[in-house]
Amino acid sequence: MVLHRELDLLLSSHLTDPTRGDGAKSNSISIEKKIEFLESITGKVTNRRSRRWLNDRLLMELVPRLNAEEIRGLFAPPPWGDEVPPSTFSRTNVEEWDRFRNIDMDKEVNIIHAFEKSLEKRKGHIDADKMAVLNGWHRVGCSTREALRRSSPSDLIEGYEECLRAFIIESTDGDVLELRIKDPFHRLLLHGVCEVDAFTDSAFKGNPAAVCLLEEDKNDYWFQSVAAEFNISETCYLTSIHGTSIPRFGLRWFTPVSEVNLCGHATLAAAQTLFSTGLVDNNVIEFVTLSGILTAKKIPASNVTSAQNDEAKDTFYIELDFPADPIAESNSDDTSLISEALNGASIIDIKRTKNGDDLLVVVSSGKNVTEVEPQLDVIGKIAGRGVIVTGIAPSESGFDFYSRYFCPKFGINEDPVCGSAHCSLATYWSKKLGKCDLNAYQASARGGAINIHLDEQKQRVFLRGKAITVMEGCILV
């Protein structure tokens, strides 16, 4: 009853009834007067649902009639504070309202003008057309209304107009219009690139990777130049491959100085981008790479036994299906050089990885791993790609082993969390510890956790980890 009384109060006002009073006079009311009136109503509104309805009503009824200055004034914090949960339009916390203030209002006004002009048939029927648009607008789905108010590309406005016109003409009062505002892949192409922190659930931890989504392939010079510009451990490039039952993308990885055949954390970052933005509607993605077809699978956190505490109900891991990297004897005469490269660390074993061509150096403990002070200029003189340092983890840590990875030859002094290195670490530690399921921690400054399963028969390593997107942007060249 309270809600109905409050709705009756609002509906009785001249602001929400366009047929009442002089239209010209109504249009001349300033945004300050409109807000002032709504604030006076708010003092009589006690029901939260009514408050949200009130703000939704303001947007739905007034926005198509406001000029540019009025629209800018409309996007100010509501008068009732932060205690009301935000709805689609009733954005009541500081962060959400800041996002609204940053919207390009001039672009929004142009969209509104485009709608108005496209619906003008004859001079004498302009008002009737506006009312038809408003009546249809009321029945447009909330998510669609929000998307139309945001930065919609101008070349798509005509298509939206046609959908709205058809909806207004053909629909009944009970119908609701839901527009597919943009194909998600093309929407993200407007941004161009995301930066994702992989093998972590916290921003600014794990290993950052730039994920670039491309509408068409570029040349290798462009790939390498962009990777050098980002200057992080890996930049990867995705191109959509159509005509497959499972979503499939071409995937290439570049460090700041060269292309690599395999990269775990950038693959995880690519999968995170596709899963979290809705670019794929499947729990499995296939990547066509220089190392063959690699699979990424979205799995619930409840299915993974890890050293991390997964309290959130809707969290998920991404599982990467990678080839195992066998371990071989090093047969190196550079023992003294290796000791110098690690600044005299306590070395107990030295191996070499067959596929990655990395030196795997085992030290006496996980604590020694964290204390290693690499001499990067000396590491650059050691044969092979890079140096993996590893040791048994402290018993209280919840992990099985620690590791670090140094690869200055490829422009990566220390890789914060290296997925491909764990394809060989899994082989080594599975044999040493006598088990196929392992929890690993890469003890770099940023740190990162990897859950591992080794399939010895098929020689596959399943790397499971989380990731978080920290930036979106666009490449302008």
For the chain, domains (ranges, CATH) are: 2-170 (no CATH), 186-319 (3.10.310.10), 327-461 (3.10.310.10)
Q: How many CB atoms lie within 10 A of CB 422?
A: 30
Stretch 192-216: mean pLDDT, rounded?
Answer: 92
Sequence-ordered list of residues with C-beta below 8 angstroms from that of 468, at least 6 positions apart, any chain:
196, 197, 200, 201, 202, 203, 206, 272
Give the model's confidence band at 355: pLDDT under 50 very low, under 70 low, under 90 confident, else very high: very high
C-alpha span between 158 and 166 (Å, rounded): 12
Looking at residue 314, its pLDDT comes to 60
* pLDDT for residue 310: 57
What gap in Å lies between CA 363 and CA 397, rounded to an integer? 17
pLDDT band for position 192 (cuts 50, 70, 90):
confident
Average pLDDT, the chain: 76
- The predicted structure's pLDDT at residue 71: 47
pLDDT at residue 69 tops 60: no
442 C-beta neighbours (distance < 10 Å), count: 31
pLDDT in tens, 305-325: 766 655 555 689 999 999 999
Mean of pLDDT values over 242-263: 95
Task: Encode pLDDT of 447-461 as tens digits.
Answer: 999 999 999 999 999
Mean pLDDT of 135-164: 54
Taking 90 as the threshold, does the pLDDT of residue 21 lie above it?
no
pLDDT given for residue 182 in this prediction? 43
| pLDDT value of residue 304 | 78
pTM attached to this predicted model: 0.64
Angle, helices 142-149 vs 105-118, to 10°: value is 110
Please report, for residues 164, 224, 325, 357, 383, the alpha-carbon distance to residue 352 in angstroms, rounded to integers and kept in the order given. Answer: 64, 28, 10, 7, 10
Mean per-residue pLDDT for 417-430? 97
Q: What is the pLDDT of residue 476?
A: 76
Stretch 434-439: mean pLDDT, rounded? 97
Residue 366 amino acid letter: G
Average pLDDT of span 37-54: 54
Active site residues: 234
pLDDT category, 435, cuts 50, 70, 90? very high
pLDDT, one tens digit per residue, over 391-421 is 999 999 999 999 999 999 999 999 999 999 9
